[in-house]
A and B are shown apart, each in its own frame.
Chain A
Amino acid sequence: MRIFVRTIFDKTFTVTTYLVVLMIIALLVIILGPMLSRGLSAVIFKDTIEFRKMQFALFNRGVESRILQETKETNAFRQKIYQTIDKFKQGIDTEALTEKARKIYREFGQQLRYKELPPEQFTILRTQAKEIRDKLETAFASQDKSEIASCINNVLQYRDDQEFKDTATEGFFKLALEFKNSVEKTDLSKHYLYVKSLQELESLIIELLGPRPDEPLPSTAMNQFGSTRWDIAQRIRDKILWTEQWVEHKPNESLIKIKTLRAEQFAGTDIEPLFGYIKDNIEQILKPRAKFYWQYFIDDSTPGHYFGGVGPEILGTLLLTVISMLFAVPIGIIAAAYLTECSSENLIIKIIRMCINTLAGVPSIVFGLFGLSFFVLFFLPLLGFPSKPCILAASLTLAILTLPVMIRASEEAIRSVPETYKEASLALGAGKFKTFMKVTMPAALPGILTGIILSLSRVAGETAPVLFTGAVALGPMPSSIFHSTRTLSYGSYDMAVGDRIAMMVPHNQYGMVAVLVMLILCLNIMAIVVRSRMFRKLHGH
């Protein structure tokens, strides 16, 4: 019985360890999976005509004649939406109507003045026009259909009057007729609701289609275009078709989401069929097409990363890593060579080793502080360069940060070269230096390479040390190493905690961090492959 219990215990333990390791691997998948898959959607996605317009306008990419042709085609379908809304608005937007009526009245007054009529007639006409205007205003403000009808009829009685022919007052009658038509179909008690719903609808349609073709372009790039991506366009389409409301289902329970057709808000009006039209013709309106946006990796971006890619960030990251490696690699290899080949274990070496370990344990933010106080505020002015955060300062900070990684990896690689290699070389009469350069180094090279690759990946991913020494969230492409730069790591931070604009483009948020993670994963996988090949070579398999 006791043995049985112990066996059960043992088996449970074994299973638990399996579960723990599976859990860790699952965590890796949970962390990387969404990041990479959603990041991929920044590069491979279905674009819309708006995307092609944006690419043409901002990056001068694409065939102009084709884009114009497509714009024409889509505008033909869009026109119906605009017309329907405008028509409906005439019965709804009473403020605008009143404004129009007043404008007509003023114009009529101007016209009368040029006609040189006898004063009595002038006064009569003027009074009549004023009466018409007032009647119309009452009609616009009224919510009672019979009152509106009587007002409009009153107005229309003047239509056949000879005096009003060919003057601005014709506008009155046109206005009156249109209003009459639209009022017949609308429920006036819902007037205020219509105004609100219409505003919402219009802003959604601007989000979907961009500004109207006949309107002036907004100044910021992000407002110049509609939905550039099909997935976002579909989301906005759903928002147009359905309204969402959070409703208290039962007291003391969390709210639940209820979806209703937006068409219900406009039941029985001219605008109701519009929703069916949008639903059926959305593809003609936006022309979605599969797109592989490889230029994401080289494109600059508009402020807030609303449009465009991560070109400057990639360039900045590469600059930082390469320059810091220029410092770290030679120093790291020489230090490793000295520690393995030239020294016996004495006190000085012990101190050096302790310093390397200490350096490896210094928190990355402290490296940032050090970079700021030493390189930016002390070292650069000492050499006569401007004392401001720049690529050089950041690279030097990163070089010191990665030095322990570099030294340890190189040391391990040099130590793993079999002693017999060196002994053979020494026996053939080569000096110590020659042996190291011609025998030890080539044999240790894959290991050193692994170290370099791992340091590269470490440097590329570090954010805290470059915060104060050379990274910025917004800025131009760096033109020399004395300028600050955007980097992938700082960009990822900025996008994640960033402003509202970044939240509107989740594909770009994930795209940025996915590029960083992919870069680092590729470097690491490369390191693993190099290491395993070296292992096989040294062990003669």
Chain B
Amino acid sequence: MNNANLNQLPEATADARSQPLLLTYSQDIRGFLSFHIGRTALFIVTCTSVLSVLLIFSFIFIEALPFLTKFSLLEFLTSKAWYPEAQSPQFGSLALIVGSIYVTVTAMIFSVPVGIFAAIFLSDIVSFEIRNIVKPVIELLAAIPSVAYGFFAVMVMAPWMQQKLGFSTGVNALNASFVLAVMALPTIISVAEDSMSAAGRELREASYGLGATRVETMFKVVIPSAHSGIIAAVILGMMRAIGETMVVWMASGNASQIPYPWWDLSQSIRTMTATIAGDMGETAKGSNHYRALFTVGLLLLVMTLCLNIVSEYFLSRTAKKSGKSK
């Protein structure tokens, strides 16, 4: 193979030398066309993601549209009565929306402090070598599939809660929130750590130089300076939690209600994602119930899109900042 190449090489060079430097018209056009056609082809393939997003929005919207024209959106958003298969069906998704937000916020209450402490640990406390060991281990948490988390919630957490904490049911808001918190941790840790590392050595050294201890440096200098990245981290964690299906479906108990009193985490609730997953199998295609589920999906999509835009904004602010400091 190598020999053949060597033998051909001088010939090729001789050939190339004998050619005039000026390209013929056909060569010129061919080169021009192949460059632009190739480029366009690449561009079209790249646009697959744009196309996918458009298709997702349009198809979810098309399927939801008949529902939106038939029922009032206001009632959909403000009524608590979700009785899709009743004689006179009622589609009030307030309890579902509240359920989604409820578990998400509770999960954040668990995971944000833990996540920030872990991010500080990785960015400022341990050596590079230990960080390189701990970080992949934490990332394994993100790799575990959601159905495995759900399995853990149902098979391990639920019996434990029922027996040790004396809850009436093991599948409840606390169970779902706790497992969601664990799932959101890797996202929060990794984004928060990135932004804290990006805060720069100079800031830290200036603070230490003024005699501040590490905790003072962290809370008075580094975290304020990295705050937009941390906010982005929290929002990304929220997106992970609010869009999660399997865990809440398996662990939240699926009772369409708003907990009363509101702090009672031991009650069962139902989220938007779990409703879609649970009900879709039983509906007829094209029925009101089916359309209502697509409307819930559309709502979910819009919510995550808003969160996404906000997180993008904060992330771009950190990017700008670190760009400036460099």
Interface residues of A, Cβ cutoff 8 Å to B: 6-7, 9-10, 13-14, 16-18, 20-21, 23-25, 27-28, 30-32, 34-35, 330-331, 334-335, 337-339, 342, 351-352, 354-359, 361-370, 372-374, 377-378, 400, 403-404, 407, 433, 457, 460-464, 467-468, 489-490, 492-493, 495-497, 509-510, 513, 516-517, 520-521, 524, 528
B265-302, CB under 8 A of A: which get 1 and which 0? 00000000100110011000100000001100100110
Please determine whether B48 and A403 come into contact, CB atoms closer than 8 angstroms.
yes
B233 CB, nearest partner CB in chain A, Å: 14
State A490–B281 Cα separation when bound (angstroms): 14
Contact of B312 (CB < 8 Å), options: A342, A354, A373, A407: A354
B56, B137, B294 — most chain A CB neighbours (10 Å): B56
Contacts of A337 in B (CB 8 A): 42
Please determine whether B137 and A28 come into contact, CB atoms closer than 8 angstroms.
yes
A21-B134, A24-B118, A358-B308 known; A404+B49 contact, CB < 8 A: yes
Please determine whether A359 and B49 come into contact, CB atoms closer than 8 angstroms.
yes
Contacts of A30 in B (CB 8 A): 156
Contact of B117 (CB < 8 Å), options: A16, A331, A404: A16
Which of chain B's residues has its CB closest to A535's CB? B132
Please determine whether A20 and B118 come into contact, CB atoms closer than 8 angstroms.
yes
Please determine whether B294 and A369 come into contact, CB atoms closer than 8 angstroms.
yes
Contacts of B48 in A (CB 8 A): 331, 335, 403
Contacts of B53 in A (CB 8 A): 355, 358-359, 362
State A378–B58 Cα separation when bound (angstroms): 13
A368-B277, A463-B146 known; A363+B49 contact, CB < 8 A: no
Which of chain A's residues has its CB closest to B48's CB? A331
Contacts of B29 in A (CB 8 A): none
B216-229, CB under 8 A of A: which get 1 and which 0? 10100000000000
Please determine whether A433 and B38 come into contact, CB atoms closer than 8 angstroms.
yes
Say if the beta carbon of B50 comes within 8 Å of chain A.
Answer: yes
Contacts of A404 in B (CB 8 A): 49
A493-B246, A496-B151, A520-B145 known; A352+B47 contact, CB < 8 A: yes
Contacts of A400 in B (CB 8 A): 52, 56
Which of chain A's residues has its CB closest to B243's CB? A363
State A268–B19 Cα separation when bound (angstroms): 113
Instruction: State the main secondary structure of chain A at its contact with B.
Output: helix
A31-B182, A361-B305, A364-B245 known; A468+B46 contact, CB < 8 A: no
Say if the beta carbon of B161 comes within 8 Å of chain A.
Answer: no
A334-B45, A352-B47, A496-B155 known; A363+B145 contact, CB < 8 A: no
State A369–B55 Cα separation when bound (angstroms): 12
Say if the beta carbon of B30 comes within 8 Å of chain A.
Answer: no
Please determine whether B49 and A517 come into contact, CB atoms closer than 8 angstroms.
no
Say if the beta carbon of B138 comes within 8 Å of chain A.
Answer: yes
Counting contact residues on chain B (CB < 8 A from A), the size range is 35 or more
Please determine whether B215 and A10 come into contact, CB atoms closer than 8 angstroms.
yes
**12 further contact pairs, Cβ within 8 A, besides A365-B243, A400-B56, A407-B49:** A21-B122, A331-B45, A335-B48, A362-B56, A364-B243, A365-B245, A368-B245, A372-B280, A403-B52, A461-B148, A467-B280, A489-B145
B43 CB, nearest partner CB in chain A, Å: 6
Which of chain B's residues has its CB closest to A7's CB? B213
Say if the beta carbon of B307 comes within 8 Å of chain A.
Answer: yes
Contacts of A521 in B (CB 8 A): 140, 143-144
Please determine whether A362 and B304 come into contact, CB atoms closer than 8 angstroms.
yes
State A23–B117 Cα separation when bound (angstroms): 11
Please determine whether A366 and B60 come into contact, CB atoms closer than 8 angstroms.
yes
State A342–B47 Cα separation when bound (angstroms): 14
Contacts of A32 in B (CB 8 A): 144
Which of chain B's residues has its CB closest to A487's CB? B147
State A426–B6 Cα separation when bound (angstroms): 21
B49-90, CB under 8 A of A: which get 1 and which 0? 110110110011011000000000000000000000000000
Contacts of A359 in B (CB 8 A): 49, 52-53, 56
State A465–B136 Cα separation when bound (angstroms): 27
State A28–B137 Cα separation when bound (angstroms): 8
Please determine whether A457 and B143 come into contact, CB atoms closer than 8 angstroms.
yes
Contacts of A357 in B (CB 8 A): 308, 312
Contacts of B167 in A (CB 8 A): none
Say if the beta carbon of B102 comes within 8 Å of chain A.
Answer: no
Contacts of B213 in A (CB 8 A): 6-7, 9-10
Contacts of B143 in A (CB 8 A): 457, 461, 520-521, 524
**25 chain-A/chain-B pairs, Cβ below 8 angstroms:** A7-B213, A21-B117, A21-B121, A21-B122, A24-B114, A31-B156, A339-B46, A352-B50, A357-B308, A357-B312, A363-B273, A364-B245, A366-B243, A368-B276, A373-B62, A373-B63, A457-B143, A460-B145, A461-B145, A462-B146, A463-B146, A489-B145, A493-B147, A513-B148, A517-B144
B147-160, CB under 8 A of A: which get 1 and which 0? 11111101110000
Say if the beta carbon of B250 comes within 8 Å of chain A.
Answer: yes
Which of chain B's residues has its CB closest to A14's CB? B125
Please determine whether B140 and A524 come into contact, CB atoms closer than 8 angstroms.
yes
Say if the beta carbon of B120 comes within 8 Å of chain A.
Answer: yes
Say if the beta carbon of B242 comes within 8 Å of chain A.
Answer: yes
Please determine whether A517 and B145 come into contact, CB atoms closer than 8 angstroms.
yes
Please determine whether A17 and B121 come into contact, CB atoms closer than 8 angstroms.
yes
State A34–B155 Cα separation when bound (angstroms): 10
Contacts of B45 in A (CB 8 A): 330-331, 334-335, 338
4 A-B pairs closest in CB distance: A461-B145, A363-B243, A10-B213, A17-B121
